[in-house]
Structure 1
Amino acid sequence: MTDVSSSPPVLVSIHRGDYRPPEWRVPDIALDFRLDLAETSVTAALAVERDIETPSPLVLHGDGLTPEAVRVDGEVWNDWRMDGSDLIVDLGDRTAATVEVDTRIDPSANTQLMGLYASNNMLCTQCEAEGFRRITFHPDRPDVLSRYKVRMEADKTRFPILLSNGNCIDKGAGEGGKHWALWEDPWPKPSYLFALVAGDLVVNRDEFVTMSGRKVELGIWVRAGDESRTGHAMQALKNSMAWDERVYGREYDLDLFNIVAVSDFNMGAMENKGLNIFNTRYILADPDTATDADYDGVEGVVAHEYFHNWSGNRITCRDWFQLSLKEGFTVYRDQSFSADMGSPAVKRIEDVRLLRAAQFPEDAGPLAHPIRPDSYQEISNFYTATVYNKGAEIIRMMATMAGPERFRKGTDLYFDRHDGEAATCEDFVRAIEDGAGLDLKQFRLWYSQAGTPRVTARVEHDAASGAAQLHLTQNVPPTPGQPVKVPMPIPLRIKAFDRSATATQAGEQLVVLHDAETVVPLGQFAASPQLSLNRGFSAPVIIDFERGADELGWLAAHDDDPFARYEALQQLMLDTLVAAVSGKPGHRQAVIDAVAETLRGREADPAFVAEAVLLPSEAFIGDQMLTVDPDAIRRERLALQDAIGAALESEWRSILAEGAPPASILSRKAKGGRRLRGVALAYLAATDRADVPSLAFTIFSEADGMTERQAALATLAHGDSDERAHALDIFYQRYRDNPLVLDKWFQVQAWSMRPDTVDAVRALAQHPDFTLTNPNRVRALYGALTGNQAAFHQADGAGYRTIADLVIALDPKNPQTAARMIPPLGRWKRFDEARAAMMKAELDRILAQPGLSRDVTEQASKSLLG
């Protein structure tokens, strides 16, 4: 269905300031589907009402569609025309009408996985953001809310299960072995929340009783044989429903909630009203096939999509510029839920690590944009870490400044004030402002300014008086289209420690930096205090704060904020690594001592210890440098890992000798214990001790679950031992028929630190089990390569060519997935001249391809600007 032409598409920018309310409303829509894999016919009956006084034609968007017939109020209508891909229907002076349009589509040919498409002989939909127009002609904008009635008819043998939004109000047998079902959703929703699934599925059923006593029937639908792996997802759903009632007072509003797991899916999941469609990756889990991280991913994504029922469905977006209204708020909600279900400290570390790995580079590159952008050319490209993850941090800052009780008052007011509406980010901020009693006038800048603020901190201590002061300055760097920035409110949780004091330390305080610079009194201290700054990562900023190894080591051992302890140790490691890359002495022994001190607390909290003692990633080390040197970064990181591994070898071996908790136990401590064993094995492997491959293979062979098995396989994959090849073959033979686990087999090889990794990726792309049609498989192989910094930035440019080749091959099939592979090439300005030239050349080569999609054209052209 991709439009292929000989020249690049003309990209038209859509501007937020040009928003106009819809001229026609569609309060009700009836859809009639005659379903088939190769030929599906659709009749859409739209009850339309004019919303402006001046007569204007009805504009219905389409994508790759041709109307077979148009009827108005039951009569054949000829007063219509096509304007590009849009259907224009002239209704004259009518202020209301029922407009029917017949279309015919081929789901089996829809490789974009947008609209109605086929996945393993099942039919399903994905309509966000603009996929509904690939099914039928429609206004297809989020501020057009309709009540849907959906009739589906299909062959009963091939498609015994027929699902849509809302409630099934009738069903029956048809002619010629067919059957039909009629679904009705009583809640008005935008077209992007429409969903349909037809296939041969089995269900795991359960129920949930709401706080008002209503019984909700729950169903998770999967292919036969997968139902035994849905128990964790079902429990996560029930936990999410109870948590949303307890924390936000939000009760589910239908009598039925269905989830369907789909193999081929561009995203993680979709929050369609009452019928969530999920990537199988975020539903299927058992100890043999899923790691602890997979279990956490299932829990978090199930919660995210369920929470959308209120923050996204009951209140939706007025336009796509408001995407963070639903996504930022809902990410914050799912992060809070996961923290409550497990370890708050570890969850916060994971969230910040992801923010720094994905969003900070986005903010510092050519694709930087505010969480509420002012314009876009292809909306699919704005499903970004900025909108989601930075958007969540903006909500978190408001919650921090308000405190729990006042923030809850603000969200209650938001839900009550805008229920049933298509709202804006401003509506949310105003509700928090009014409900919590905050002045957020200046805070609104976070929605309109791109870039990660840098905060410089300096402690000044007067030895004579004992008075200590904290000097803070902020700077928001220029980004594309925004060369000059205004200071923004930055809430910083801080605490000053007196290392010589025996009495209780002063408490934490919240400082909000409103201006370009400010001075904060810290109190009286005999010596300069040790400052814990941005505790809990209370603001998504970069802190420039010169502290010596002694101070960082002390904070890593004694700070009473877990995230601040983690941050101090990470900063100590980072300072040492950056110095080493630059040829300067670092603090290697101080790092070893701090790691040793942290390991002493592993019995109490192994999950936190495992995260704290991990070295910063190669990419994050590069982010601290003016010009990234990937080869030197890998060399020095491996050297420090070797030094820590050798100095603390007895500790690492002791951790491994203690044995692993049973894989079936998913307690915080058990998961932490397994995680720490994986870290210990990696540190030992860095020492190149002769027995490590054998030790890793033993762990691999004896593992009773995927967490241990994958950690051992990943360790072996970095080397060239006989055990490596043997383990990879065993893993493949055992899981070759399980697509999700086979993704891991591709991924660990693309993550490998071997010098031939790029060649290996190219070879794996020719493997019989590799396919470009499945986004999970593409991300497992090529996505892992872009995250493997030294391999992707291989000096001869082979990594760049490999990704460009992928984008060119994938774009005609799946533009969304292809476009998401481009941003790593857009960071060319951060690298040496030779690498920069090669990255730019590959972007040029992509843009020179005929028939390029809008998705890829926008990403590549903006990335080329650097």
Structure 2
Amino acid sequence: MREGSPALVRREDYTAPAWWVRSVDLTFDLDPAKTIVASKLAIERNTERPAEPLRLDGEGLNLLRVLVDGQSVSFRHEDGQLVIDAPAADAFVLEIRNTVCPEKNTELSGLYTSGGGFFTQCEAQGFRRITYFFDRPDVMAIYTVTLRADKAKYPVLLSNGNLAEQGSLDNGRHFARWNDPFPKPCYLFALVAADLVAREQRVTSRAGKDHLLQVFVRRGDLDKTEHAMNSLVASLVWDEARFKLPLDLERFMIVAVEDFNMGAMENKGLNLFNTKYVLASPATATDTDYSLIESVVGHEYFHNWTGNRITCRDWFQLSLKEGLTVFRDQEFSQDMAGSPSARGVKRIDDVRTLRQIQFPEDAGPMSHPVRPDSYVAIDNFYTATVYEKGSEVVRMMQTLVGRGGFERGITEYFRRHDGQAVTCDAFAQSIADVNPASPLNAQLEAFKRWYSQSGTPKVTARGTAADGTWTLTLAQDFGAPQGVTSPVERQPFVIPVRVALFTRDGRPVPLKLEGDAEAAPSERVLVLSQAEATYRFLDVPADVVPSVLRDFSAPVLLDDGLTDADRLVLLAHDTDPVNRWEAGQRLALSQLVAAITGDGTLALNDAYVDAMRAVLRDPSLDPAFKELVLTPPSEAYVSEQLTVPVDPQRVHAVCQQMQDQLAARLHDDWLAAWDANQISEGYSPDGAQSARRALANLALAMLVRDAARSGDSVWPGKAYQRFKDAGNMTDRLGALGALVGAHSELATPALARFHELFQNEALVVDKWFGLQARASEKDGRVFAKVKALLQHPDFSMHNPNRVRSLLLALCNGNPAAFHRPDAKGYVFWAEKVVELDAINPQVASRLARALDRWRNLAEPYRGAAREAIARVAAKTDLSPDVREVVDRALKD
């Protein structure tokens, strides 16, 4: 199956299917070793296409029977498809009977077993591993599903839609029949058969319809589902209030499964979730876990309309549903955050994720447009570009048409396309058409370049002042990323740029553009659609500081030409949280880069330290915002900003110097922050408490770090005591992280105690592995520890969460521990990519991407990394998933 070069699929080759499926009747006789699948498909010829054979996708299936209108028919197998050359008529019923072996399905794609139950994952192309079908998103049908299984072993039988009938069968078996009244593609099919319990809640929509909400988990976990249920209810209420989109089924179900490749899956009415995004209690989940559960529950629920009711015509349009739904879940999370400061913290988190993950992807070998042009394995394109950058493209649309205009556009989108499989262009057209006076409508074709051109544009902003006039020149570099060629000439992007001006003492300046009758408010959105444009503002006082790209109004690299003195003004006074945070990040970055490209010695200047002290002491600032500002840029992000070959060890050493100096020079302020942010009331994951815990835990980590430098035993002892006494996981893990990060002697007994306390909590054990794999490298200890942990009884290469918590945490998330001068990290990576590829190609391809940016490395890292990639590429039996990643990495 894996021999030879996998085929390249091109967007330009798309054609509509030759046949449609109008209805699907599936029956499953479930058995771990031999599940029998019987399908009955009502098929019609696509009369707009020439007559063609019927070709159905199938993988790893044991075919038993094929009937057309009840009669046997000749067929053949060709290129992984079941082919019927001469279908009997333009419309007929096709019956197929086959078997699969769920218990041997380690790829977790299709029908598989986990924890004694049956589960499915069909996106993107898993349905072909269940039965023969048109495994493509533009074939939409009504599904009726009957499940049969042993009642004692599998008392819960679930599938999409509404429960039509259930009852008992002979020999201790039972059945359930489900009907989904809405046409859907096969990737949204799901079934679950397991011994589960459910938290239930009934809700009434604004239209007065009653719905049953259910969250299913394994026995013993029911007490950890309250937050997931609350998040689901909040999602229903928000979507109906914000976008007038109600729940359209009698019930909505969430099922948590421990072995799952993704975070969650939006199957119609039956969402399957990784347990990580369902289970939470104060004792086992951190504030971050609570926040992620709310976000992911919202995301999958919002897919009910943006992805399910309207789906993708083909997989190249993946961002149609994912980019749009990420935007919707980000908006939801911001609204749930409540206060303006908490909303700002959420936006900063989203921006930081985009820049640390997606920007490097845009500049690396896997660079691709938001709407890719080709792929070998579509699973490789569930990427930050499709999701997070796709979300920013949608956000720019909202910026260009306004919040109200965007909501009108969403309404129009559903009026036109409900029940259809469409393209990204269809969505953009809907938004533009109902906002005829907007910049989006005026420049729609140019705006669509965000979907078709890869890479991150660079915007240069320069301002000059003279005689009460301030002139801003914006220019964009829209060239292709290095190594990317395009058959058409690249053109400028349409870039909305939010701008404000401040005086040196922090007063906002009203913005009056030349030609305006009167001054506008203190912020404007400028639309850069050419290579360069100039804007003149009148009645501007002398010596102003511009705040450009406020709220990160476009996913671009910004060169604003500001001095450190300018950034100090913005850090102290900017009313936009994103640019205020960014000012602090740039101040830190300039010193880090100077030291890395210099002699490797960092000495923080007084102005920066005083600014950080002022942030810590400012009573008007949200504690979570303080924590973000006082957290320096990550080593990976710093490396991406360098214009010289990257020495990961040198970057690590300089970043550690910054942490050490901040810890020492702000010692008294860390102590004050620690004392001021203690919480005496009962635990709540709300924004106010979470913010205080975030700053308190950062302060504790810095105090323990400073103690390690000075040899003081007091603060490590206090951290260990907090670790033992903590009443919630956020504080416990924060204290443990402080000890591990400082390589304190107390880290060893604390880690042992932590494992002893939580060895039966799988998600907490993941945290235990991950904390050790992401620890600051020192003398090769972390790398050695990870290799030792591979032999731990709790580690399994078959569980994606466990692999992510150890292997991906090291290789993708700990540059100093992974990029070793002796190349042992790369040898280790190559071995594990190949080993994992034989078990689960999707997870293996994620690990393979740890060396995407190998060309940026200095020697000896660069040559050793290339050798490791070539070693993997030389394997003849790689999956298409891994093959595509390593081949693109090596491509000149």
Shorter-chain TM-score above 0.5:
yes
Deviation at 1:685, TM superposition (A): 3.1
> Residues 649-668 of structure 1: matches in 2 within 5 Å?
649-658=667-676, 660-661=678-679, 662=681, 664-668=683-687
Cα deviations by residue, 1:86-110 (Å, 9 ceiling, x for unpaired): 1012344510111111111110000
- 1:666 is paired with a residue whose SS is coil
Structure showing greater relative contact order (alpha-carbon pairs closer than 8 Å, 6 or more residues apart): 1
Deviation at 1:603, TM superposition (A): 6.0
Cα deviations by residue, 1:201-224 (Å, 9 ceiling, x for unpaired): 000000221110101100000001
Residue of structure 1 equivalent to 2:378? 379
Matched, 1:728 2:751: yes
Q: Which amino acid aligns with 1:681?
A: L
Deviation at 1:36, TM superposition (A): 1.1
- Would the aligned equivalents of 2:105 and 2:113 in 1 still touch at CA under 8 Å? yes
- Would the aligned equivalents of 1:72 and 1:97 in 2 still touch at CA under 8 Å? yes
Deviation at 1:721, TM superposition (A): 2.9
Residue of structure 2 equivalent to 1:426? 425
Structure 2 residue corresponding to 1:680, chosen from 699, 702, 705: 699
Deviation at 1:352, TM superposition (A): 0.7
- TM-aligned CA distance change 1:92 to 1:278, over 3 Å: closer
Cα deviations by residue, 1:613-637 (Å, 9 ceiling, x for unpaired): 1111011111110221212222221
Q: Distance in 2 between matches of 1:502 and 1:192?
A: 54
Q: Percent identity?
A: 44
Q: Which amino acid aligns with 2:435?
A: A
Q: Which amino acid aligns with 1:9?
A: G
- Would the aligned equivalents of 2:503 and 2:509 in 1 still touch at CA under 8 Å? no
Deviation at 1:682, TM superposition (A): 2.4
Structure 2 residue corresponding to 1:817, chosen from 843, 858, 862: 843
- TM-aligned CA distance change 1:370 to 1:502, over 3 Å: closer
Q: Distance in 2 between matches of 1:245 and 1:686?
A: 48
- 1:288 is paired with a residue whose SS is coil
Q: Distance in 2 between matches of 1:523 and 1:777?
A: 59
Matched, 1:490 2:495: yes
Deviation at 1:712, TM superposition (A): 1.4
Q: Distance in 2 between matches of 1:849 and 1:503?
A: 61
> Residues 263-278 of structure 1: matches in 2 within 5 Å?
263-278=258-273
Residue of structure 2 equivalent to 1:318? 313
Deviation at 1:525, TM superposition (A): 3.4
- TM-aligned CA distance change 1:721 to 1:496, over 3 Å: closer
Deviation at 1:664, TM superposition (A): 1.9
- Would the aligned equivalents of 1:164 and 1:197 in 2 still touch at CA under 8 Å? yes
Deviation at 1:396, TM superposition (A): 0.3
Residue of structure 2 equivalent to 1:454? 458
- Would the aligned equivalents of 1:9 and 1:854 in 2 still touch at CA under 8 Å? no
Cα deviations by residue, 1:278-308 (Å, 9 ceiling, x for unpaired): 0000000011000000000000000000000
- TM-aligned CA distance change 1:194 to 1:503, over 3 Å: closer
Deviation at 1:496, TM superposition (A): 1.0
Q: Distance in 2 between matches of 1:586 and 1:648?
A: 14
- Would the aligned equivalents of 1:491 and 1:513 in 2 still touch at CA under 8 Å? yes
- 1:730 is paired with a residue whose SS is helix
Matched, 1:773 2:798: yes
Q: Distance in 2 between matches of 1:829 and 1:705?
A: 43
Residue of structure 2 equivalent to 1:519? 534
- Would the aligned equivalents of 1:9 and 1:853 in 2 still touch at CA under 8 Å? no
- 1:116 is paired with a residue whose SS is strand
Residue of structure 1 equivalent to 2:285? 290
> Residues 436-835 of structure 1: matches in 2 within 5 Å?
436-437=435-436, 438-439=441-442, 440-462=444-466, 465-479=467-481, 480-482=483-485, 485-499=490-504, 505-506=510-511, 507-583=522-598, 588-602=605-619, 604-626=621-643, 627-658=645-676, 660-661=678-679, 662=681, 664-687=683-706, 688-689=709-710, 690=712, 691-753=714-776, 754-755=778-779, 756-786=781-811, 787-835=813-861
Structure 2: unaligned runs, 5 residues or longer: 512-521
Q: Distance in 1 between matches of 2:293 and 2:505?
A: 46
Q: Distance in 1 between matches of 2:574 and 2:742?
A: 38
- TM-aligned CA distance change 1:511 to 1:370, over 3 Å: same
Q: Distance in 2 between matches of 1:713 and 1:821?
A: 27
Deviation at 1:656, TM superposition (A): 1.9
Residue of structure 1 equivalent to 2:346? 347
Residue of structure 2 equivalent to 1:63? 59
User: Structure 1 stretch 750-759 or stretch 153-162: which is displaced more?
Assistant: 750-759
Structure 1: unaligned runs, 5 residues or longer: none
Q: Distance in 2 between matches of 1:538 and 1:92?
A: 54
Q: Which amino acid aligns with 1:773?
A: H
> Residues 298-309 of structure 1: matches in 2 within 5 Å?
298-309=293-304
Aligned residues: 858
Residue of structure 2 equivalent to 1:844? 870
- 2:748 is paired with a residue whose SS is helix
Cα deviations by residue, 1:3-36 (Å, 9 ceiling, x for unpaired): 45xxx43221111111111110000010010001
Structure 2 residue corresponding to 1:161, chosen from 156, 161, 165: 156
Cα deviations by residue, 1:655-703 (Å, 9 ceiling, x for unpaired): 2234532562222111000000121122223322423321221221121
TM-score (norm 1): 0.97
Q: Which amino acid aligns with 2:408?
A: K
- 1:157 is paired with a residue whose SS is coil
Q: Which amino acid aligns with 2:798?
A: T
Q: Distance in 2 between matches of 1:87 and 1:432?
A: 41
- Would the aligned equivalents of 2:62 and 2:100 in 1 still touch at CA under 8 Å? no
- TM-aligned CA distance change 1:326 to 1:70, over 3 Å: same
> Residues 65-214 of structure 1: matches in 2 within 5 Å?
65-77=61-73, 79-214=74-209
Q: Which amino acid aligns with 1:651?
A: D
User: Structure 1 stretch 586-595 or stretch 371-380: which is displaced more?
Assistant: 586-595
Q: Distance in 1 between matches of 2:563 and 2:621?
A: 28
Q: Which amino acid aligns with 1:718?
A: G
- 2:297 is paired with a residue whose SS is helix
- 1:284 is paired with a residue whose SS is coil
Residue of structure 2 equivalent to 1:360? 359
- 1:390 is paired with a residue whose SS is helix
Deviation at 1:182, TM superposition (A): 0.6
Q: Distance in 1 between matches of 2:484 and 2:792?
A: 44
Q: Which amino acid aligns with 1:352?
A: V
- Would the aligned equivalents of 2:506 and 2:574 in 1 still touch at CA under 8 Å? no
